Amino acid sequence: MLVRLLYASRAVDASPPSIEAILSQSRQYNPQHGITGILCYGGGIFLQAIEGGRQPVSDLFGYIQRDTRHKSVAILHYEEISERRFSGWTMGQVNLERVNASIVLKYSERPELDPYAVSGRVSLALLEELIATASIIGRA
């Protein structure tokens, strides 16, 4: 059974080397466990969707909750799915500082990523918009 989990967290260290380390680790781990997804980050906040089998996604989320690079980890949305939306990415990435602010503003009160202030469905809609506007990089 496939599931999608969407969560938010605050970065302990949002420096480019730290972000790249997270992405690199994800791109090594995820294919071995049948996980695909996307990591969106900006302003020290991560918004991540992960898809795969129920147990692998649960195991990965448990790891993320214990990972000292994250704080304030919160599930925004969880659902059983019939097909993956992010199947082309072992871990796609979006740096919101390089995206037109009007895209983020469309889904929030201010043009800043704050998934804690909106519903999980709104955050998922933002990710869908980022796919539609080809803002996701790192298709691997």
Taking only the tens place, the pLDDT of each residue in 50-76 is 999 999 999 999 999 999 999 999 999
pLDDT at 137: 59
pLDDT at 103: 85
Task: Look at the chain and count its residues.
Answer: 140
The token pair that represents 27 in the structure block: 């791109």
pLDDT digits (tens, 9 = 90+) for 18-40: 888 888 888 889 999 999 988 88
Question: In this model, does residue 140 exceed pLDDT 50?
Answer: no
CA distance 96 to 62: 26
- pTM for the model stands at 0.85
Q: Please state, rounded to an integer, the average pLDDT across all residues of the chain.
A: 87
Name the DSSP letter for residue 7: E
Average the pLDDT over each of 43-52, 53-62, 72-81, 89-98 and give the range with the smallest value.
89-98
Phi and psi dihedrals of 7, rounded to 5? -140, 165
CA distance 110 to 106: 9
CB 12 within 8 A of CB 6: no
CA distance 28 to 31: 7
- Of 106, 140, 114, 132, the closest CA to residue 40 belongs to 114
3-state secondary structure of 133: coil
